[in-house]
Amino acid sequence: MDPLIFSLYVGGTFLGSSIWYVVHRTIPERIDFKRYIITKPRVGLIPIGLAFAVTGYILSGSIYLFLGSVLDSLIAAWIGRVYLAPISSLSWISLPYLLSQNPIRKGRGVCVGNIRRVLKRRRTSLPNTYRYEWIEGEGNLCIDLAERKNYNSVVLGSSGTGKSTLVKKLMTSLGLPFIIFDLHGEYSIPSANTINLSETGVNPLSLFGFSPRDRALEVAIALKSVFNLGHLQTMDFFSLLLEAYQDKGIYEEDQRTWSLPPPTFKDVISLLQKKKKLSIRSEEMSRLEGLETYLRFLDSSVFMRGEVDMDVLIKGSVILDFSGLPSNEIKYIIMITLLNGIMHNMYKLGGSGLRRMIVIDEAPFLVSREAGERIAERFFAEGRKFGYGVVLVSQTKDGIEKAINNSDSLFIFNMRDPRELEYVSKLLGGSHPEAFKAIYEMLMQLNRGELITRDSDTDELLMVSLN
């Protein structure tokens, strides 16, 4: 190689790197070539860059400078910013600068917001020290749930920060049927069918295709969760429910009987009263009376007002409005019942590929108690196999830490509680104190409709504003 050209190359690269360092006071940690693979080039920019390259060649007559300019033009096209195209005339001098730029993302899947900032790790001039800074970002945040390791997501943020807005955007754009468990009646999506659960009942003792033993156990655990029962009372409920199924001719061993009409809580109370009449020991009597108190509490007319049409629930897009139900205990039992019905259908239909979304708003209400935790864990663990994606929405991490660790997508809105801020900053920033600080500060500054999430392609943290 011509020594003059070689020194131009070395000098140019040095000059370009120095300009970068003077501007940013840090050194880019590495050139991430993966981002060029995941980014679509803006082909229209190539001729503009090449025009500058040719002009440079005509003026300098150097093929090496020309090659540097061609390389610059291609990189500028991949970065996708028009104002970078003329820079290619600087050939090798501008190469380090161009390599340090963030390409505009290709955006696969459903685009829900604009990328405002990207968290970058930079090496400082001191050995083994890094600085984290939020640099300007460009492009759309697009989510391709189908491509992810699992289809589970968690949306966290204080009240009124934009969580349900994101969920609505996702649900309406994914083009998949969805079920939203809406505790406060906040969701309204024109394309979805809203079921007001205070008008349409559900029988918690429906089998949904499960065996009477499985259902009796699930319901007993739900009652345990709701009323904080001890083991003994839970087992008593289990036996009583099993007996109530048998009273209706539904037997564990005979699967044909599983489709018979199930008992209701009223039937269980009648059974209990019969048992009370037969009981001779006062200890047994007081145990049965204890159970009766709970059953009477649950013997709400809500459970009697017909049945949610499982077909509608399974096939279409549905918002389940829990806001009109009289107590949290009844809400909880209906929630568990419907989730069991959905789960049964999931097992029955099988299948693969993302085909249905379930959104649980105010997720700690469900998962902070045993019955809800069990069913949420099953959906989280097995959902992908059956094409079900679960979105948990919460104002707090409390009670859903396990789900956060097991979900592939996290969307974090502004959080006010320092404890929450600390948890999330540690979760996203790892052990590096500088990363922790950068994330903590950004989380506090987020406005309504702004969130932080991890780019599934580059693993970078992005600050995004919903569009």
Of 102 and 164, CB closest to ligand ATP: 164
Of 170 and 342, CB closest to ligand ATP: 170
237: left (phi over 0), alpha (psi -120 to 50) or beta: alpha
Of 159 and 352, CB closest to ligand ATP: 159
Rounded to the nearest 10 degrees, the angle between the axes of helix 265-278 and helix 231-247 is 100
Q: Is residue 186 within the footprint of ligand ATP (CB under 6 A)? A: yes
Which listed residue (164, 206, 340, 456) binds ligand ATP by CB under 6 A? 164
Question: CB atoms < 10 A from the CB of 370, how many?
Answer: 13
* Residue 430 amino acid letter: G
**Least distance (Å) from ligand ATP to the CB of residue 391?**
12
Of 274 and 419, CB closest to ligand ATP: 419
Which listed residue (28, 49, 137, 157) binds ligand ATP by CB under 6 A? 157
Q: Is residue 165 within the footprint of ligand ATP (CB under 6 A)? A: yes
**Least distance (Å) from ligand ATP to the CB of residue 188?**
11
Q: Is residue 397 within the footprint of ligand ATP (CB under 6 A)? A: no
Of 125 and 159, CB closest to ligand ATP: 159
Which listed residue (44, 47, 160, 261) binds ligand ATP by CB under 6 A? 160
Which listed residue (103, 162, 204, 263) binds ligand ATP by CB under 6 A? 162
Q: Is residue 368 within the footprint of ligand ATP (CB under 6 A)? A: no
**Least distance (Å) from ligand ATP to the CB of residue 354?**
23
**Least distance (Å) from ligand ATP to the CB of residue 292?**
38
CB 288 within 8 A of CB 239: no
* Closest CB to ligand ATP: residue number: 449
Which listed residue (300, 395, 396, 409) binds ligand ATP by CB under 6 A? 395
For the chain, the residue count is: 467
Cα separation, 303 vs 466, whole angstroms:
40
Of 78 and 413, CB closest to ligand ATP: 413
**Least distance (Å) from ligand ATP to the CB of residue 448?**
5
Which residue in this structure is represented by tokens 């196999």? Answer: 385
> How many residues of this chain interact with ligand ATP, rule: CB under 6 A?
14
**Least distance (Å) from ligand ATP to the CB of residue 192?**
16
Interacting residues with ligand ATP between 430 and 449 (CB under 6 A):
448-449
Q: Which stretch binds ligand ATP (CB under 6 A): 31-39, 158-166, 170-178, 437-445?
A: 158-166
Which residue in this structure is represented by tokens 């969130």? Answer: 451
Q: Mask 94-133, x = binds ligand ATP (CB under 6 A)?
A: ----------------------------------------
From the DSSP assignment, how many helices (H) and strands (E) are in the chain? 17, 13
CB 113 within 8 A of CB 466: yes
**Least distance (Å) from ligand ATP to the CB of residue 242?**
40
Q: Burial, 438: exposed, middle or buried (Cβ in 10 Å; 0-12, 13-18, 19+)?
A: buried
Q: Is residue 163 within the footprint of ligand ATP (CB under 6 A)? A: yes
What is the number of alpha carbons within 13 Å of residue 165 lying toward its C-beta?
Answer: 16
Q: Is residue 177 within the footprint of ligand ATP (CB under 6 A)? A: no
List b or e across 398-427, with b for residues whose CB sees 16 or more CB atoms inside 10 angstroms.
ebbeebbeebbbbbbbbbeeeebbebbbeb
User: How many angstroms from the chain centroid is the CA of residue 386?
Assistant: 17
Give one DSSP letter per residue of 355-424, joined into a string.
-EEEEETTHHHHHTSHHHHHHHHHHHHHHHHHTEEEEEEES--TT-HHHHHT-SEEEEE----HHHHHHH
Rounded to the nearest 10 degrees, the angle between the axes of helix 63-79 and helix 3-24 is 30
Q: Which stretch binds ligand ATP (CB under 6 A): 124-132, 162-170, 241-249, 299-307?
A: 162-170
User: How many angstroms from the chain centroid is the CA of residue 448?
Assistant: 19
Q: Is residue 159 within the footprint of ligand ATP (CB under 6 A)? A: yes
Give one DSSP letter per residue of 161-219, joined into a string.
SSHHHHHHHHHHHH-S-EEEEESSS----TTSEEEETTTS---TT--TTS-HHHHHHHH
**Least distance (Å) from ligand ATP to the CB of residue 159?**
4
Site residues (vs ligand ATP, CB under 6 A):
157, 159-165, 186, 395, 448-449, 465-466
